[in-house]
Amino acid sequence: MKAIISIILIAASIAFFVFFTNPKRAELKANQIEVGKLNIAQENAKILKSKIDALLKIKSSISEADTEKIKRMIPDNVENVRLIIDFDSMLQDLIKQKNTAYIYKKTNSTESEEFSIDSPKISKGNTITAGGFDTSQLGVADFTFAVSLTYSDFLDFLKRIETSSRIFDIQSISFTSPDSKNIRNPDEIVYNFNIALKTYWLKSK
């Protein structure tokens, strides 16, 4: 009789373990794994919040003037008209700062001429090589134009492009020269330069 009772108790214990204890144990283990994941997520959230707070602090420390410079460096659109105006302003500012009279006149002529950006053309450019940021948010525009200047003035013009608040990458420069047989001073030769460059802008998300 005792043997039968022992067998019944053992069988009941096994059944209790299989149908109750083991499922609860598995459930507890799954809950422990889930708690671990939540703890990791909570720690990551704290790190992310810390980084966001640090970035917001940096942003708040940027002056309004510097913010405008950043917007000009990489604007949120191509700004076709403004781009042409900016380049024309660079050219006009260069002309005004020169004291030599010859740059205001056509080669071999006494007729006055207003210098300006000629044949400006802006088109969508190729995407840039992937780097350490999301290049899909960065737009590229090709800008080509022509300008007539002496060689020394053209170098000054390039310096103005280089130091511009907006980012430009000059891709190519070509030029043609006029008949300079009747020009005594080589520094007075006005060349026709063709410039191709790239500029960048941030796409709206």
Residue of 76, 69, 70, 202 lying closest to 135 (CA atoms):
202
Q: Which residue has the tokens 């020394």?
A: 152
Contact, 143 vs 121, CB < 8 A? yes
* CA torsion angle 180 181 182 184 (round to 10): 80
Record the pTM. 0.62
State the average pLDDT for the chain. 77
- Cα-based distances in Å from 17 to 11, 23, 30, 127: 10, 8, 18, 64
Residue of 96, 94, 90 lying closest to 197 (CA atoms):
90
User: What would the pLDDT profile of 111-140 be if each residue is shown by its tens digit?
Assistant: 445 667 888 999 888 766 555 556 677 888
Classify residue 18 by its DSSP letter: I
Q: Which of 22-26, 84-88, 124-128, 191-195 has the lowest mean pLDDT?
A: 22-26
Average pLDDT for 61-86: 84
Q: Which of 71-75, 158-162, 190-194 has the lowest mean pLDDT?
A: 71-75
- 168-176 and 118-124: which strand pairing? unpaired
Q: Which residue has the tokens 């000009």?
A: 72
User: What would the pLDDT profile of 97-106 be if each residue is shown by its tens digit?
Assistant: 775 444 444 4
User: What would the pLDDT profile of 150-174 be if each residue is shown by its tens digit?
Assistant: 888 899 999 999 998 888 999 999 9
Q: Where are the alpha helices (DSSP H) in the chain?
A: 2-16, 22-61, 64-73, 80-97, 151-162
Q: Which residue has the tokens 């660079």?
A: 90
